[in-house]
Amino acid sequence: MRYLVVVEKGPSSYGAYVPDLPGCVAAGESKDEVLSLIRDAIELHLEGLKEEGQGITGPSSTSELVEVEAA
């Protein structure tokens, strides 16, 4: 499955979360690190849902870039 991952750059680190998997988050010192960590977090999150007998919903979030005029 392919999940949308939102990556945000902070002042000293990167954060990532998965809109389709509430609570599935990661933080790292670089973009590459946070992407590796969120991949692991997704796998663990899905394993946990399976162990708890909860259904795994497929990805449904998408993304688009929207251009606006700078004020």
Per-residue pLDDT of 9-66, as tens digits, reads 999 999 999 999 999 999 999 999 999 999 999 999 999 999 999 988 889 999 999 9
Of 60, 7, 57, which is closest to residue 37 (Cα–Cα)? 7
**Residue 31 confidence (pLDDT):** 98
Q: What is the pTM of this model?
A: 0.88
**Residue 56 confidence (pLDDT):** 87
